[in-house]
Amino acid sequence: MKKIILVLIVACLASCISSKKYNQKLKAKHSVYKLKADLAIIKKSLEEAHPGLYWYITKQKIDFKFDSLQSIIKDSMSSIAFYRMTAPVISNVKCGHTRLIYAGLKLSKKEKAANKKKGPAPLSQLQYKVENDKLFISANKNKALTQFKVGAQILSIDSVPTEQFLEKTKRLFSTDGYNQTFYEEVLNKSFAAYYYLTFPKRDSSLIFLRDSSGLCVEYLKTENPDTTKSKKNVEKRKKQQQEDLAKRKIKRKNRYKGFDENQQPLLDFKIDTALESMAFLKVKSFSFPHNNFHKFFRESFQSLQASKIENLILDLRGNGGGNLMSCNLLFRYLYNQPHQFTTRADMKTRSFASQKYIEKTSLNKFNSVILFPFLWAMNQLLIKKDSLGYYAKLPTQKLKKPKINHYTNNLIVLINGYSFSATSLLSANLQSVKRGYFIGEETGGGYNQCTAGSIPIINLPNTGLKLRLPLKEIKITQPRELIGRGVFPYLEVKPTISDVLKGKDVVMDKAMEKIYKNLD
């Protein structure tokens, strides 16, 4: 027991020392030599290992952009400044799985508690919707901020016009190919985070607004909406704690379905009470803790069969992807013929120079002494080479039969710009076999292919930034000629800020409208 306690104390101290060094690295100004050394690691990593580096940009153009960046670096700078210069260059690869990451400082429990007490950053108190290069307030998390009305248009933040800061934030990450819908959906979810990666974080921001009453200027400050200790608030907190306890019991029972940030299930199945021949299947993620897709799909499709459902609406909106096998499993419940979901996964190489910088937690918990010999041995076994080059086998490249309770009746599939990665490949497979009627927006992920599979995180040794580096080509078996685009809907429906204000789900409304018309 004493030995275990001693090990835990040593591990805790090592973690504290490691966090301190990491934070010092992020805060420090780095010499030109160190900045250029990290930039060289990024470029070499992409060249050696990224299988789709030249899908959407030529070698000459990407070389020119890296060379130009090298020539601009003439003075020392901080990690965040280096990030702001380098991330846009990497986004030119046009791969949604490839990006530079600024993870931020590692905070102690005490520091996290102090930040929580202080309250969220100004822009984090609102939710946003991007529409045609305009920014609107879609929700207000702080009821005390009555001056920030839902639906108001933000014209500028700290004197920077909306068009300018949206253009800058979009350059920090990329979509797959030439698609544009992914950009808006990412910012709808994470605008504040990307804004603070683009501009310094402040305790207050000057917001220029246009709402129903006209133009106005307001300050948005760091403020905790729950700082008062009135009797009313104490009672409210007690009631909330009781409700949270009840919710936790339900969550434990249904955790195999997952929960999103609003505590709504990620996997959900319902039969329409008004029209019993219609059902809704929502799949908002293909990867989350404690998931059990086999159980959920088995239960759902057994119910579809038992209830003789004639119309199924499959909602894949907001599903950023996940496990390919889970996507393939759902496909087998929706299609009545044997099908090969993907081809083999082509790769650039077995090993590359920056492997030594791979973040251990992105692969496994082995220490560096065990990690790399283990990986090397596994690579020799799992990564093959033939006349076409290196490749890895995927379980989804096998011809698989439909599941027993597969569904053959009318199918409508809802997609949007955040239907990404494996979700986009599922949509592409369904569309390639003419299964389902698609409504919504073009998917953010590519139709033909993406680079994913194995995605290690490369820790840059000098600046502390991280490079997300996909290693495998994931391709469907029936590609189309249109390169660099996602899965297009048959009926395009794009929700507006007006729809948000009215609480209308226009995409779902169109799907139900189509079903009702077919019944007439």
Cα 47 from chain centroid? 24
Q: Return the exposure string of 370-394: e unless at least 16 CB atoms fall within 10 Å of the residue's CB, then b.
A: ebeeebeeebeeebeeeeeebbbeb
DSSP-based three-state secondary structure for 210: strand
**Distance from C-alpha of 453 to C-alpha of 340, rounded to nearest angstrom:** 17
Determine the Cα–Cα distance for residues 489 and 179; give it in Å rounded to an integer: 13
356-377 residue pLDDT tens: 999 876 554 434 444 555 655 6
Q: Which of 225-229, 289-293, 408-412 has the lowest average pLDDT?
A: 225-229
Res 305: pLDDT? 95
**Predicted confidence band of residue 78 (pLDDT cuts 50, 70, 90):** very high
Contact 396, 388 (CB under 8 A): no
SS3 311: strand
Q: How do residues 381-397 score in pLDDT, each as one tens digit?
A: 789 999 999 999 999 99
Residue 469 vs residues 146, 326, 348, 419, 453: alpha-carbon distances, Å: 43, 23, 12, 21, 10
The model's confidence at residue 244, banded by pLDDT at 50, 70 and 90, is low
Handedness of CA 20, 26, 27, 33 (dihedral sign): positive
Per-residue pLDDT of 154-168, as tens digits, reads 999 999 999 999 999
Per-residue confidence (pLDDT) for residue 38, from 0 to 100: 98
Q: What pLDDT does 227 receive?
A: 46
Q: Whole-prediction pTM value?
A: 0.89
% the chain with pLDDT above 90 = 71
pLDDT single digits (tens) 419-457: 999 999 999 999 999 999 999 999 999 999 999 989 999
- Picking from 52, 63, 156, 106, the residue whose alpha carbon sits closest to that of residue 475 is 52
Q: Distances in Å between the alpha carbon of 314 and those of 77, 438, 447?
A: 49, 10, 18
Domain boundaries, the chain: 120-221, 250-347+394-455+470-519
The answer regarding whether domain 250-347+394-455+470-519 maps to CATH 3.90.226.10 reads: yes
Whole-number pLDDT of residue 379: 63
Q: Which of 18-22, 80-84, 264-268, 345-349 is the least confident region?
A: 18-22
Each residue's pLDDT tens digit, 318-338 = 999 999 999 999 999 999 999
Note every long-range contact of 222-229, with CB atoms under 8 Å and residues 24 or more positions apart, other chains counting. 222/118, 222/119, 222/120, 222/121, 222/122, 223/119, 223/120, 223/125, 223/142, 223/144, 223/145, 224/116, 224/117, 224/118, 224/119, 224/120, 225/119, 225/125, 225/141, 225/142, 225/143, 225/144, 227/119
Question: Under CATH, to which class is 120-221 assigned?
Answer: mainly beta
Q: Find, among 506, 507, 487, 496, the residue nearest to 442 by Cα.
A: 487
Tell me the H-state helices in 335-421. Answer: 368-382
